[in-house]
């Protein structure tokens, strides 16, 4: 918003179409001097997009074209709920001139950008539309990339959660686990945990944690931990398995028996 408010307009409004095809007035910003100030009282859900309305915002949300508008545009009988909300916006902001452009991605229409002038006495002209369309296009690319990243992260998190081990039920023992993803950016990876029967007494159970690649090595770790052949320990065995793979990655497995 700092690119357009207050350089191009006194007001900037972003209406977004959600993945459920609902319209949401996501951002309303006003220039208070050089500082953009958000007006949350003007934000919120919007009526559905009319299919044949000739009004500027309705056309932009359908991806038809960018348009100039003013208070007189919405003084007549409104043809849709969106026209009612847009008329209310003009009255609340005292905008005397506005330019409305679609926000597009390469695949779909994502919303609409409304730039308005109230304190600036110069109205928008048709020559301003190409610049505003370019701003809206860049906003559409950024929004599309953000939504794509969110979808990919959601898929990765869902897969990650399905790969986490299920704790076994044991009479007289209550187990609680907590999984924290490793990198803050992707929220994928991190420490793993496991608990399983250890057939050789005295300790009947063993639990442990390991690094982000260990879910692929967990079967080998269990086999090493339950192996009846005397070995230096499960951790040493797992390090050997990791170093013999196609890639060398750090993989540790601190373990603790229960009962102690």
pLDDT at 190: 55
HEC letters along 117-155: ECCCCCCCCHHHHHHHHHHHHHHHHHHHHHHHHHHHHHH
Give the model confidence (pLDDT) of 48-77 as tens digits.
Answer: 999 889 999 999 999 988 999 999 998 889
Measured CA distances, 18 to 1, 21, 42, 49, 146 (Å): 20, 5, 18, 12, 13
Size (the chain), residues: 260
Strand partners, 112: 15, 102
Which run of H or of E encompasses 56?
helix 56-61
Share of the chain above pLDDT 90, in %: 43
pTM assigned to the model: 0.65
Which run of H or of E encompasses 84?
helix 81-93
Give the model confidence (pLDDT) of 79-108 as tens digits.
Answer: 999 999 999 999 999 999 999 999 999 889
- CA 44 and chain centroid, separation: 19
pLDDT at 177: 73
> Is residue 59 a contact partner of residue 67, using CB atoms and an 8 Å limit?
yes
Average pLDDT over the chain, rounded to whole? 78
List, for the chain, all residue ranges whose pLDDT scores fall below the cut of 50: 202-212, 229-237, 240-248, 250
Which DSSP category does 34 fall into?
T
How far is the C-alpha of 222 from the C-alpha of 216, rounded, in Å?
12
Edge-first strand listing for the sheet containing 255-258: 192-197, 205-210, 255-258
Domains detected in the chain: 11-156 (3.30.450.40), 168-258 (no CATH)
Question: Among 12, 23, 116, which residue's Cα sits nearest to residue 62?
Answer: 23
Residue 9: CB atoms within 10 Å:
28
pLDDT at 258: 59
Question: Among 230, 23, 224, which residue's Cα sits nearest to residue 114?
Answer: 23
């Amino acid at each position: 918003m700092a690119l357009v408010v207050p350089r191009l307009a006194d007001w900037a409004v972003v209406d977004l179409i959600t993945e459920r095809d609902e319209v949401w007035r996501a951002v309303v910003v006003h220039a208070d001097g050089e500082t953009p100030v958000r007006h949350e009282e003007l934000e919120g859900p919007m009526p559905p997009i009319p299919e044949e309305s000739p009004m500027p915002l309705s056309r932009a949300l359908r991806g038809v074209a960018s348009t100039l508008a003013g208070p007189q545009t919405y003084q007549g009988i409104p043809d849709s709920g969106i026209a009612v909300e847009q008329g209310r916006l003009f009255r609340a902001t005292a905008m005397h001139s506005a330019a409305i452009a679609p926000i597009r991605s390469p695949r779909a229409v994502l919303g609409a950008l409304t730039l308005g002038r109230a304190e600036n006495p110069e109205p928008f002209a048709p020559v301003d539309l190409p610049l505003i369309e370019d701003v809206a296009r860049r906003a559409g690319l950024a929004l599309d990339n953000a939504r794509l990243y969110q979808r990919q992260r959601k898929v990765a998190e869902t897969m990650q959660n399905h790969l986490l081990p299920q704790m076994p039920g044991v009479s007289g023992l209550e187990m609680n686990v907590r999984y924290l993803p490793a990198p803050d950016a992707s929220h994928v990876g991190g420490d793993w945990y496991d608990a399983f029967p250890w057939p050789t007494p005295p300790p009947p159970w063993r639990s442990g944690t390991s690094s982000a690649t260990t879910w692929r090595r967990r079967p080998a770790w269990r086999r090493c931990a339950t192996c009846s052949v005397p070995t230096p320990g499960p951790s040493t065995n797992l390090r050997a398995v990791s170093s013999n793979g196609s890639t060398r990655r750090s993989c540790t497995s601190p373990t603790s028996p229960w009962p102690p």
